[in-house]
Amino acid sequence: MKMLRLWWFFVLGILCAMVTSLQCAAQPYPGRPLHMVVPAVAGSPTDMMARTIGTKLTASLGQPVVVENHPGPGGMIAFNTVAKAPADGYTMVLGDINALQQRASDSLGPLNLAKSYTPVSLVAQMPIVLLIDNSLRIKSVPELVDFLKAKPNQLAYSSSGPGSQGHLAGEQFKALTKTSIKEVPYVTDSAARTALSRGNVQLTFAPLTAAKALARDGKARMLAVTGDKRSKLEPELPTFSEAGLPGFDVAFKFGVLLPPDAPREIVTRLNAEIVKIVNTSDAREQFAKVGAVPVATTPEQFVALSHIGAGQWTMVQKAAGEFGSPSPTAPKATSSVEKKDEKKEEVKKGISSKSTAPQSVPPVASGYPAGCCRIAGHRRYTSTSHCFSATSRFCTATAYAAPSTDYGCLEVATASCRGL
Confidence at residue 190, expressed as pLDDT on a 0 to 100 scale: 86
Alpha-carbon distance 53 to 277, whole Å?
A: 7
- Indicate whether this model's pTM tops 0.85: no
Confidence at residue 379, expressed as pLDDT on a 0 to 100 scale: 40
Backbone φ and ψ for 368, nearest 5 degrees, come out as -90, 150
What is the number of other CB atoms lying within 10 angstroms of the CB of residue 118? 25
Confidence at residue 361, expressed as pLDDT on a 0 to 100 scale: 29
Confidence at residue 336, expressed as pLDDT on a 0 to 100 scale: 37
Burial class (CB in 10 A: 0-12, 13-18, 19+), 328: exposed
Alpha-carbon distance 170 to 155, whole Å?
A: 12
Domains 34-125+252-316 and 127-250 share a fold: yes
Alpha-carbon distance 212 to 302, whole Å?
A: 29
Alpha-carbon distance 275 to 140, whole Å?
A: 39
Confidence at residue 183, expressed as pLDDT on a 0 to 100 scale: 92
Confidence at residue 20, expressed as pLDDT on a 0 to 100 scale: 45
Alpha-carbon distance 75 to 328, whole Å?
A: 18
DSSP state of 400: E
DSSP state of 92: E
pLDDT under 50: residue ranges of the chain: 19-25, 104-108, 322-420
Confidence at residue 238, expressed as pLDDT on a 0 to 100 scale: 95
Alpha-carbon distance 126 to 94, whole Å?
A: 14
Q: Which of 333, 318, 316, 74 is nearest to 185 (CA)?
A: 74
Confidence at residue 139, expressed as pLDDT on a 0 to 100 scale: 94
Confidence at residue 77, expressed as pLDDT on a 0 to 100 scale: 86
Cβ pair 123, 94 in contact under 8 A: yes
Architecture field, domain 127-250: 3-Layer(aba) Sandwich (3.40)
Q: Which of 120, 126, 116 is nearest to 40 (CA)?
A: 126
Confidence at residue 12, expressed as pLDDT on a 0 to 100 scale: 61
What lies within 8 Å, CB to CB, of 168 at 6+ separation is: 98, 101, 250, 312, 313, 316
CATH 3.40.190.150 fits 34-125+252-316, yes or no: yes
Burial class (CB in 10 A: 0-12, 13-18, 19+), 14: exposed
Q: Which of 214, 207, 362 is nearest to 293 (CA)?
A: 207
What lies within 8 Å, CB to CB, of 416 at 6+ separation is: 358, 359, 410
Grouping H, G, I as helix, E, B as strand and the rest as coil, residue 250 is coil
Alpha-carbon distance 159 to 163, whole Å?
A: 9
Domain ranges for the chain: 34-125+252-316, 127-250, 347-420
Provide the residue type at 412 as one letter: V
What lies within 8 Å, CB to CB, of 161 at 6+ separation is: 73, 74, 76, 102, 167, 185, 186, 187, 325
Percent helix / strand / coil, the chain, rounded to 5? 40, 20, 40
